[in-house]
Structure 1
Amino acid sequence: MNPSAALPPLAPPMAPRHGAVGLALVAGLSLLAGMTDAIGFLATGDFVSFMSGNTTRLAADVAAGRWAAAGHLALAIATFVLGNAGGVLLQRLTRQRACLLLGLLALLLALAASLPAGRLALLTGVFAMGMVNAVVEQVYGLPIGLTYVTGALSRFGRGLGHWLLGERRRGWRIQLVPWLGMLLGGVLGAALEAGLGLAAWYACAALAAILAVIFRLIPRAWQLGYLAS
Protein backbone atom coordinates (compact mmCIF):
# COMPACT_ATOMS: atom_id res chain seq x y z
CA MET A 1 0.00 0.00 0.00
CA ASN A 2 1.29 3.44 -0.87
CA PRO A 3 1.85 5.37 2.43
CA SER A 4 0.95 8.64 0.76
CA ALA A 5 -2.52 7.30 -0.04
CA ALA A 6 -3.49 7.72 3.62
CA LEU A 7 -2.60 11.41 3.62
CA PRO A 8 -5.30 14.00 2.91
CA PRO A 9 -4.87 15.71 -0.46
CA LEU A 10 -3.39 19.18 -0.43
CA ALA A 11 -5.57 22.02 -1.65
CA PRO A 12 -4.59 22.93 -5.22
CA PRO A 13 -2.42 26.05 -5.24
CA MET A 14 -3.91 29.18 -6.69
CA ALA A 15 -2.25 31.14 -9.47
CA PRO A 16 0.16 33.71 -7.98
CA ARG A 17 -1.89 36.67 -9.19
CA HIS A 18 -5.11 35.11 -7.92
CA GLY A 19 -3.62 34.58 -4.46
CA ALA A 20 -1.97 38.02 -4.33
CA VAL A 21 -5.27 39.71 -5.15
CA GLY A 22 -6.98 37.61 -2.48
CA LEU A 23 -4.44 38.72 0.13
CA ALA A 24 -4.91 42.36 -0.89
CA LEU A 25 -8.66 41.96 -0.44
CA VAL A 26 -8.15 40.36 2.97
CA ALA A 27 -5.96 43.30 3.97
CA GLY A 28 -8.61 45.80 2.87
CA LEU A 29 -11.48 43.96 4.56
CA SER A 30 -9.48 43.51 7.78
CA LEU A 31 -8.63 47.21 7.71
CA LEU A 32 -12.36 47.93 7.44
CA ALA A 33 -13.11 45.58 10.36
CA GLY A 34 -10.39 47.13 12.53
CA MET A 35 -11.66 50.64 11.84
CA THR A 36 -15.27 49.69 12.54
CA ASP A 37 -14.43 47.83 15.75
CA ALA A 38 -12.22 50.58 17.18
CA ILE A 39 -14.75 53.31 16.41
CA GLY A 40 -17.62 51.30 17.85
CA PHE A 41 -15.70 50.32 20.97
CA LEU A 42 -14.56 53.86 21.75
CA ALA A 43 -17.96 55.40 21.00
CA THR A 44 -20.20 52.83 22.72
CA GLY A 45 -17.92 50.86 25.06
CA ASP A 46 -18.73 47.55 23.35
CA PHE A 47 -16.89 45.50 20.76
CA VAL A 48 -18.40 45.39 17.29
CA SER A 49 -16.46 42.49 15.79
CA PHE A 50 -14.43 41.06 18.69
CA MET A 51 -16.94 38.54 19.99
CA SER A 52 -14.33 36.74 22.12
CA GLY A 53 -14.05 39.90 24.21
CA ASN A 54 -17.82 40.26 24.40
CA THR A 55 -18.13 36.61 25.46
CA THR A 56 -15.64 37.09 28.30
CA ARG A 57 -17.48 40.19 29.44
CA LEU A 58 -20.79 38.32 29.19
CA ALA A 59 -19.44 35.56 31.43
CA ALA A 60 -18.20 38.11 33.98
CA ASP A 61 -21.57 39.88 34.00
CA VAL A 62 -23.46 36.61 34.46
CA ALA A 63 -21.18 35.62 37.34
CA ALA A 64 -21.71 39.01 38.98
CA GLY A 65 -25.46 38.94 38.43
CA ARG A 66 -25.44 41.98 36.15
CA TRP A 67 -28.31 40.66 34.08
CA ALA A 68 -29.06 43.80 32.08
CA ALA A 69 -25.46 44.09 30.91
CA ALA A 70 -25.34 40.35 30.22
CA GLY A 71 -28.50 40.53 28.14
CA HIS A 72 -27.07 43.44 26.15
CA LEU A 73 -23.90 41.48 25.31
CA ALA A 74 -25.81 38.29 24.55
CA LEU A 75 -27.91 40.26 22.08
CA ALA A 76 -24.76 41.64 20.44
CA ILE A 77 -23.28 38.14 20.08
CA ALA A 78 -26.52 36.76 18.64
CA THR A 79 -26.66 39.68 16.19
CA PHE A 80 -23.11 38.92 15.04
CA VAL A 81 -24.05 35.28 14.40
CA LEU A 82 -27.13 36.39 12.45
CA GLY A 83 -24.95 38.78 10.44
CA ASN A 84 -22.70 35.88 9.43
CA ALA A 85 -25.72 33.80 8.44
CA GLY A 86 -27.22 36.74 6.57
CA GLY A 87 -23.98 37.28 4.67
CA VAL A 88 -23.94 33.66 3.50
CA LEU A 89 -27.60 33.81 2.48
CA LEU A 90 -27.08 37.05 0.59
CA GLN A 91 -24.05 35.62 -1.19
CA ARG A 92 -26.11 32.64 -2.29
CA LEU A 93 -29.13 34.73 -3.35
CA THR A 94 -26.94 37.07 -5.38
CA ARG A 95 -24.94 34.16 -6.84
CA GLN A 96 -21.80 35.04 -4.88
CA ARG A 97 -21.60 38.66 -6.02
CA ALA A 98 -19.60 40.18 -3.19
CA CYS A 99 -19.95 43.68 -4.60
CA LEU A 100 -23.66 43.63 -3.72
CA LEU A 101 -22.97 42.38 -0.21
CA LEU A 102 -20.37 45.11 0.33
CA GLY A 103 -22.76 47.69 -1.07
CA LEU A 104 -25.35 46.69 1.53
CA LEU A 105 -22.61 46.72 4.17
CA ALA A 106 -21.76 50.31 3.22
CA LEU A 107 -25.40 51.30 3.60
CA LEU A 108 -25.65 49.62 7.02
CA LEU A 109 -22.52 51.39 8.28
CA ALA A 110 -23.79 54.73 6.98
CA LEU A 111 -27.09 54.10 8.78
CA ALA A 112 -25.27 53.20 12.00
CA ALA A 113 -23.16 56.38 11.72
CA SER A 114 -26.31 58.48 11.53
CA LEU A 115 -27.75 57.04 14.76
CA PRO A 116 -27.01 58.12 18.34
CA ALA A 117 -24.25 56.10 20.02
CA GLY A 118 -26.62 53.61 21.60
CA ARG A 119 -27.78 50.03 21.30
CA LEU A 120 -29.40 50.32 17.87
CA ALA A 121 -26.26 51.81 16.34
CA LEU A 122 -24.10 49.16 17.98
CA LEU A 123 -26.26 46.26 16.80
CA THR A 124 -26.36 47.64 13.26
CA GLY A 125 -22.57 47.76 13.22
CA VAL A 126 -22.31 44.28 14.74
CA PHE A 127 -24.63 42.83 12.10
CA ALA A 128 -22.55 44.47 9.37
CA MET A 129 -19.34 43.01 10.78
CA GLY A 130 -20.92 39.57 10.86
CA MET A 131 -21.88 39.93 7.20
CA VAL A 132 -18.38 40.87 6.04
CA ASN A 133 -17.03 37.45 7.01
CA ALA A 134 -18.92 35.95 4.06
CA VAL A 135 -16.98 38.03 1.51
CA VAL A 136 -13.66 36.15 1.62
CA GLU A 137 -13.33 32.83 3.46
CA GLN A 138 -10.05 31.43 2.14
CA VAL A 139 -6.90 32.31 0.22
CA TYR A 140 -4.55 29.69 -1.22
CA GLY A 141 -7.00 27.13 0.17
CA LEU A 142 -6.26 28.32 3.72
CA PRO A 143 -8.96 29.65 6.09
CA ILE A 144 -8.94 33.39 6.69
CA GLY A 145 -10.77 35.36 9.41
CA LEU A 146 -11.60 38.96 8.60
CA THR A 147 -13.10 40.39 11.79
CA TYR A 148 -11.13 38.44 14.40
CA VAL A 149 -7.46 37.61 14.63
CA THR A 150 -7.08 35.09 17.47
CA GLY A 151 -7.36 32.23 14.99
CA ALA A 152 -4.94 33.92 12.60
CA LEU A 153 -2.33 34.40 15.32
CA SER A 154 -2.83 30.81 16.46
CA ARG A 155 -2.34 29.47 12.92
CA PHE A 156 0.71 31.70 12.51
CA GLY A 157 2.16 30.48 15.81
CA ARG A 158 1.61 26.83 14.93
CA GLY A 159 3.19 27.40 11.55
CA LEU A 160 6.16 29.06 13.22
CA GLY A 161 6.52 26.06 15.51
CA HIS A 162 6.54 23.65 12.56
CA TRP A 163 9.05 25.88 10.77
CA LEU A 164 11.37 25.81 13.79
CA LEU A 165 11.13 22.02 13.69
CA GLY A 166 12.31 22.08 10.10
CA GLU A 167 8.91 21.33 8.59
CA ARG A 168 8.12 23.46 5.57
CA ARG A 169 4.39 24.06 5.44
CA ARG A 170 3.04 26.63 3.06
CA GLY A 171 0.79 29.54 3.84
CA TRP A 172 1.27 30.14 7.56
CA ARG A 173 2.95 33.51 7.06
CA ILE A 174 -0.08 34.97 5.30
CA GLN A 175 -2.02 34.73 8.56
CA LEU A 176 -0.28 37.95 9.61
CA VAL A 177 -2.11 39.84 6.85
CA PRO A 178 -5.52 40.03 8.61
CA TRP A 179 -3.79 40.79 11.93
CA LEU A 180 -1.88 43.72 10.45
CA GLY A 181 -5.03 44.91 8.71
CA MET A 182 -6.98 44.87 11.97
CA LEU A 183 -4.14 46.61 13.79
CA LEU A 184 -3.74 49.41 11.26
CA GLY A 185 -7.50 49.75 10.91
CA GLY A 186 -7.84 50.05 14.68
CA VAL A 187 -5.25 52.82 14.81
CA LEU A 188 -6.96 54.70 11.99
CA GLY A 189 -10.41 54.17 13.49
CA ALA A 190 -9.32 55.41 16.91
CA ALA A 191 -7.87 58.55 15.35
CA LEU A 192 -11.08 59.20 13.42
CA GLU A 193 -13.32 58.54 16.42
CA ALA A 194 -11.39 61.04 18.52
CA GLY A 195 -12.52 63.81 16.21
CA LEU A 196 -15.83 62.56 14.87
CA GLY A 197 -17.30 60.17 17.41
CA LEU A 198 -19.58 57.50 15.98
CA ALA A 199 -19.93 59.59 12.80
CA ALA A 200 -16.48 58.19 11.91
CA TRP A 201 -18.38 55.13 10.72
CA TYR A 202 -19.15 57.18 7.59
CA ALA A 203 -15.49 56.65 6.70
CA CYS A 204 -16.00 52.90 7.14
CA ALA A 205 -19.05 53.10 4.87
CA ALA A 206 -16.95 54.88 2.24
CA LEU A 207 -14.24 52.21 2.47
CA ALA A 208 -16.85 49.45 2.12
CA ALA A 209 -18.21 51.19 -1.00
CA ILE A 210 -14.69 51.41 -2.47
CA LEU A 211 -14.15 47.71 -1.79
CA ALA A 212 -17.48 46.96 -3.47
CA VAL A 213 -16.26 48.69 -6.64
CA ILE A 214 -12.95 46.80 -6.47
CA PHE A 215 -14.76 43.48 -6.13
CA ARG A 216 -16.89 44.38 -9.14
CA LEU A 217 -13.68 44.56 -11.21
CA ILE A 218 -12.31 41.18 -10.09
CA PRO A 219 -13.03 38.17 -12.33
CA ARG A 220 -15.99 36.20 -11.04
CA ALA A 221 -14.06 32.92 -11.14
CA TRP A 222 -11.48 34.40 -8.78
CA GLN A 223 -14.16 35.58 -6.37
CA LEU A 224 -15.65 32.09 -6.23
CA GLY A 225 -12.20 30.77 -5.37
CA TYR A 226 -12.13 32.90 -2.24
CA LEU A 227 -15.23 31.18 -0.85
CA ALA A 228 -15.23 27.89 1.00
CA SER A 229 -16.61 25.08 -1.14
Structure 2
Amino acid sequence: MLPAPLRKPSNPVHVRVRAWRGRVGLAMVASLSVLAGMTDAIGFLATGDFVSFMSGNTTRLAVAVGEGDLRLVVRLLFAVLAFIVGNALGVLLARWGGRRALPLMLVIAGLLCTAALLPLATQVPALLAAIVAMGMLNAAVEQVNGLPVGLTYVTGALSRFGRGLGRWILGERRSGWRVQLVPWTGMLLGAVLGALLEAQFGLKAMLFSAGLAAVLGLATLRIPRRWQRDYMPR
Protein backbone atom coordinates (compact mmCIF):
# COMPACT_ATOMS: atom_id res chain seq x y z
CA MET A 1 0.00 0.00 0.00
CA LEU A 2 1.40 3.39 -1.00
CA PRO A 3 1.96 5.89 1.80
CA ALA A 4 -0.48 8.79 2.02
CA PRO A 5 0.90 11.97 0.44
CA LEU A 6 2.52 14.34 2.86
CA ARG A 7 0.58 17.47 3.68
CA LYS A 8 2.13 20.57 2.19
CA PRO A 9 3.53 22.74 5.00
CA SER A 10 1.69 25.99 5.65
CA ASN A 11 3.26 29.14 4.32
CA PRO A 12 4.54 31.08 7.39
CA VAL A 13 3.63 34.39 5.76
CA HIS A 14 0.06 33.25 5.15
CA VAL A 15 -0.19 32.02 8.72
CA ARG A 16 0.95 35.38 10.08
CA VAL A 17 -1.41 37.28 7.79
CA ARG A 18 -4.33 35.11 8.85
CA ALA A 19 -3.45 35.63 12.51
CA TRP A 20 -3.29 39.42 12.11
CA ARG A 21 -6.53 39.43 10.11
CA GLY A 22 -8.15 37.55 12.96
CA ARG A 23 -6.83 39.96 15.60
CA VAL A 24 -7.98 43.01 13.66
CA GLY A 25 -11.36 41.42 13.03
CA LEU A 26 -11.85 40.65 16.70
CA ALA A 27 -10.84 44.21 17.60
CA MET A 28 -13.55 45.42 15.24
CA VAL A 29 -16.06 43.01 16.76
CA ALA A 30 -15.22 44.23 20.26
CA SER A 31 -15.49 47.90 19.27
CA LEU A 32 -18.74 47.49 17.34
CA SER A 33 -20.22 45.46 20.20
CA VAL A 34 -19.40 48.33 22.57
CA LEU A 35 -21.32 50.61 20.19
CA ALA A 36 -24.26 48.20 20.11
CA GLY A 37 -24.38 47.78 23.89
CA MET A 38 -24.08 51.52 24.50
CA THR A 39 -26.87 52.31 22.03
CA ASP A 40 -29.14 49.58 23.36
CA ALA A 41 -28.76 50.79 26.95
CA ILE A 42 -29.42 54.41 25.98
CA GLY A 43 -32.49 53.48 23.95
CA PHE A 44 -33.87 51.19 26.61
CA LEU A 45 -33.45 53.67 29.45
CA ALA A 46 -34.77 56.62 27.42
CA THR A 47 -37.76 54.94 25.76
CA GLY A 48 -38.38 51.68 27.61
CA ASP A 49 -37.76 49.61 24.47
CA PHE A 50 -34.76 47.62 23.31
CA VAL A 51 -32.84 48.96 20.33
CA SER A 52 -30.90 45.83 19.38
CA PHE A 53 -32.20 43.06 21.66
CA MET A 54 -35.03 41.74 19.49
CA SER A 55 -35.43 38.58 21.58
CA GLY A 56 -36.50 40.81 24.46
CA ASN A 57 -38.81 42.82 22.23
CA THR A 58 -40.34 39.61 20.85
CA THR A 59 -41.09 38.33 24.36
CA ARG A 60 -42.58 41.71 25.27
CA LEU A 61 -44.63 41.59 22.07
CA ALA A 62 -46.06 38.18 22.99
CA VAL A 63 -46.94 39.42 26.48
CA ALA A 64 -48.60 42.52 25.02
CA VAL A 65 -50.68 40.31 22.69
CA GLY A 66 -51.73 38.16 25.65
CA GLU A 67 -52.71 41.24 27.66
CA GLY A 68 -54.52 42.84 24.75
CA ASP A 69 -52.35 45.98 24.80
CA LEU A 70 -52.88 46.94 21.16
CA ARG A 71 -50.80 50.12 21.34
CA LEU A 72 -47.75 48.27 22.65
CA VAL A 73 -48.29 45.45 20.14
CA VAL A 74 -48.13 47.90 17.24
CA ARG A 75 -45.08 49.68 18.70
CA LEU A 76 -43.13 46.44 19.17
CA LEU A 77 -44.14 45.09 15.78
CA PHE A 78 -42.71 48.21 14.19
CA ALA A 79 -39.55 47.76 16.28
CA VAL A 80 -39.01 44.19 15.08
CA LEU A 81 -39.77 45.11 11.47
CA ALA A 82 -37.36 48.06 11.67
CA PHE A 83 -34.60 45.71 12.82
CA ILE A 84 -35.27 43.37 9.89
CA VAL A 85 -35.27 46.29 7.47
CA GLY A 86 -32.02 47.55 8.97
CA ASN A 87 -30.31 44.19 8.45
CA ALA A 88 -31.48 44.11 4.83
CA LEU A 89 -30.35 47.69 4.21
CA GLY A 90 -27.00 46.91 5.80
CA VAL A 91 -26.32 44.11 3.32
CA LEU A 92 -27.45 46.27 0.39
CA LEU A 93 -25.30 49.20 1.45
CA ALA A 94 -22.31 46.93 2.10
CA ARG A 95 -22.60 45.55 -1.44
CA TRP A 96 -23.19 48.94 -3.05
CA GLY A 97 -20.22 50.34 -1.15
CA GLY A 98 -17.90 47.65 -2.48
CA ARG A 99 -17.94 45.84 0.88
CA ARG A 100 -16.21 48.72 2.60
CA ALA A 101 -17.28 49.50 6.16
CA LEU A 102 -16.92 53.31 6.00
CA PRO A 103 -20.07 54.14 3.97
CA LEU A 104 -22.11 51.79 6.15
CA MET A 105 -20.77 53.26 9.39
CA LEU A 106 -21.39 56.84 8.25
CA VAL A 107 -25.03 56.05 7.45
CA ILE A 108 -25.36 54.42 10.88
CA ALA A 109 -23.86 57.54 12.48
CA GLY A 110 -26.37 59.68 10.61
CA LEU A 111 -29.31 57.59 11.80
CA LEU A 112 -28.10 57.76 15.41
CA CYS A 113 -27.71 61.54 15.14
CA THR A 114 -31.30 61.69 13.88
CA ALA A 115 -32.46 59.60 16.82
CA ALA A 116 -30.63 61.86 19.28
CA LEU A 117 -31.91 65.14 17.85
CA LEU A 118 -35.59 64.29 17.42
CA PRO A 119 -37.80 65.77 20.17
CA LEU A 120 -38.50 63.41 23.05
CA ALA A 121 -42.22 63.72 22.31
CA THR A 122 -41.56 61.90 19.05
CA GLN A 123 -39.56 59.10 20.66
CA VAL A 124 -41.07 56.39 18.44
CA PRO A 125 -39.42 57.77 15.25
CA ALA A 126 -36.20 58.21 17.24
CA LEU A 127 -36.46 54.63 18.48
CA LEU A 128 -37.07 53.28 14.97
CA ALA A 129 -34.11 55.23 13.55
CA ALA A 130 -31.83 53.76 16.20
CA ILE A 131 -33.19 50.25 15.61
CA VAL A 132 -32.62 50.49 11.85
CA ALA A 133 -29.06 51.64 12.60
CA MET A 134 -28.43 48.64 14.85
CA GLY A 135 -29.84 46.28 12.24
CA MET A 136 -27.45 47.77 9.68
CA LEU A 137 -24.53 47.39 12.09
CA ASN A 138 -24.67 43.60 11.73
CA ALA A 139 -23.39 43.94 8.16
CA ALA A 140 -20.15 45.59 9.33
CA VAL A 141 -18.63 42.26 10.45
CA GLU A 142 -20.34 38.95 9.80
CA GLN A 143 -17.46 36.53 10.32
CA VAL A 144 -13.78 36.54 11.27
CA ASN A 145 -11.53 33.88 9.73
CA GLY A 146 -14.58 31.71 9.13
CA LEU A 147 -16.02 32.09 12.64
CA PRO A 148 -19.54 33.58 12.74
CA VAL A 149 -19.99 36.55 15.07
CA GLY A 150 -22.95 38.66 16.13
CA LEU A 151 -22.63 42.32 17.01
CA THR A 152 -26.01 43.44 18.33
CA TYR A 153 -27.06 40.25 20.09
CA VAL A 154 -25.06 37.88 22.25
CA THR A 155 -27.35 34.90 22.89
CA GLY A 156 -25.81 33.05 19.95
CA ALA A 157 -22.30 33.94 21.10
CA LEU A 158 -22.94 32.62 24.60
CA SER A 159 -24.52 29.49 23.16
CA ARG A 160 -21.51 28.85 20.91
CA PHE A 161 -19.18 29.51 23.84
CA GLY A 162 -21.08 27.09 26.07
CA ARG A 163 -21.13 24.35 23.45
CA GLY A 164 -17.43 24.86 22.83
CA LEU A 165 -16.79 24.58 26.57
CA GLY A 166 -18.72 21.32 26.65
CA ARG A 167 -16.64 19.89 23.79
CA TRP A 168 -13.44 21.07 25.51
CA ILE A 169 -14.46 19.22 28.70
CA LEU A 170 -14.99 16.10 26.56
CA GLY A 171 -11.44 16.41 25.29
CA GLU A 172 -12.15 17.95 21.87
CA ARG A 173 -9.65 20.69 21.18
CA ARG A 174 -11.47 22.74 18.57
CA SER A 175 -10.35 26.33 18.24
CA GLY A 176 -12.42 29.47 18.07
CA TRP A 177 -15.06 28.99 20.74
CA ARG A 178 -13.32 31.24 23.28
CA VAL A 179 -13.52 34.27 20.99
CA GLN A 180 -17.31 34.20 21.33
CA LEU A 181 -16.84 36.03 24.63
CA VAL A 182 -15.48 39.04 22.74
CA PRO A 183 -18.86 40.40 21.54
CA TRP A 184 -20.46 39.60 24.91
CA THR A 185 -17.77 41.50 26.81
CA GLY A 186 -17.94 44.40 24.38
CA MET A 187 -21.71 44.67 24.66
CA LEU A 188 -21.56 44.48 28.46
CA LEU A 189 -19.00 47.27 28.72
CA GLY A 190 -20.86 49.34 26.14
CA ALA A 191 -24.14 48.97 28.03
CA VAL A 192 -22.51 50.18 31.25
CA LEU A 193 -21.15 53.19 29.41
CA GLY A 194 -24.51 53.83 27.76
CA ALA A 195 -26.31 53.75 31.11
CA LEU A 196 -23.91 56.33 32.52
CA LEU A 197 -24.32 58.58 29.48
CA GLU A 198 -28.11 58.31 29.43
CA ALA A 199 -28.27 59.31 33.09
CA GLN A 200 -26.52 62.55 32.15
CA PHE A 201 -27.91 63.36 28.71
CA GLY A 202 -31.07 61.32 28.18
CA LEU A 203 -31.83 60.34 24.59
CA LYS A 204 -29.29 62.91 23.35
CA ALA A 205 -26.63 60.46 24.56
CA MET A 206 -27.19 58.82 21.17
CA LEU A 207 -24.88 61.56 19.85
CA PHE A 208 -22.04 59.73 21.59
CA SER A 209 -23.08 56.55 19.78
CA ALA A 210 -23.14 58.47 16.50
CA GLY A 211 -19.66 59.85 17.16
CA LEU A 212 -18.29 56.42 18.00
CA ALA A 213 -19.83 54.96 14.81
CA ALA A 214 -18.16 57.67 12.72
CA VAL A 215 -14.79 57.17 14.45
CA LEU A 216 -14.94 53.40 13.94
CA GLY A 217 -15.87 53.94 10.30
CA LEU A 218 -12.84 56.17 9.78
CA ALA A 219 -10.65 53.64 11.59
CA THR A 220 -11.58 51.00 9.00
CA LEU A 221 -9.65 53.03 6.40
CA ARG A 222 -6.53 51.50 7.95
CA ILE A 223 -7.80 47.96 7.40
CA PRO A 224 -6.77 46.29 4.11
CA ARG A 225 -9.58 46.10 1.58
CA ARG A 226 -9.26 42.33 1.22
CA TRP A 227 -9.69 41.84 4.95
CA GLN A 228 -12.82 44.01 5.00
CA ARG A 229 -14.30 41.95 2.19
CA ASP A 230 -13.67 38.81 4.26
CA TYR A 231 -15.39 40.31 7.32
CA MET A 232 -18.52 41.62 5.60
CA PRO A 233 -21.50 39.74 4.12
CA ARG A 234 -20.86 37.94 0.83
- The two structures have a TM-score, normalised by structure 2, of 0.91
Residue aligning to 1:6: none
Whole-angstrom CA distance in 1 between matches of 2:21 and 2:223? 10
Tell me which amino acid in the other structure corresponds to 1:94: G
Residue aligning to 1:33: 36
Tell me which amino acid in the other structure corresponds to 1:217: R
Whole-angstrom CA distance in 1 between matches of 2:32 and 2:44? 18
Correspondent of 1:114 among 112, 117, 140: 117
Tell me which amino acid in the other structure corresponds to 2:28: L
Q: Percent identity?
A: 61
Q: Which runs of 4+ in 1 moved over 3 A?
A: none
Tell me which amino acid in the other structure corresponds to 2:76: L
| 1:163 Cα deviation from its structure 2 partner | 0.3
Cα contact 2:94–2:233 (8 A) shared by 1: no
Q: Does 2:166 correspond to 1:135?
A: no
Cα contact 1:140–1:171 (8 A) shared by 2: no
| 1:140 Cα deviation from its structure 2 partner | 2.0
| 1:95 Cα deviation from its structure 2 partner | 1.1
Whole-angstrom CA distance in 1 between matches of 2:233 and 2:110? 26
| 1:152 Cα deviation from its structure 2 partner | 0.3
Residue aligning to 1:78: 81
Cα contact 2:139–2:233 (8 A) shared by 1: no
Tell me which amino acid in the other structure corresponds to 1:147: T
Tell me the secondary structure at the aligned position of residue 104 of structure 2.
helix
Residue aligning to 1:55: 58
Query: How many residues are matched?
Result: 218
| 1:67 Cα deviation from its structure 2 partner | 1.2
Cα contact 2:168–2:174 (8 A) shared by 1: yes
Q: Does 2:204 correspond to 1:199?
A: yes
| 1:227 Cα deviation from its structure 2 partner | 2.5
Cα contact 1:31–1:183 (8 A) shared by 2: yes
Structure 1: gaps spanning 5 or more residues? 1-11
User: Which one has a bigger Cα radius of gyration?
Assistant: 2
Q: Does 2:69 correspond to 1:66?
A: yes
Whole-angstrom CA distance in 2 between matches of 1:206 and 1:94? 21
User: Aligned pair in 2 of structure 1 residues 16, 159: CA closer, same or farther (>3 Å)?
Assistant: same
| 1:228 Cα deviation from its structure 2 partner | 4.2
Cα contact 2:29–2:183 (8 A) shared by 1: yes
Note the aligned Cα RMSD (angstroms).
1.2
Tell me the secondary structure at the aligned position of residue 104 of structure 1.
helix
| 1:217 Cα deviation from its structure 2 partner | 1.6
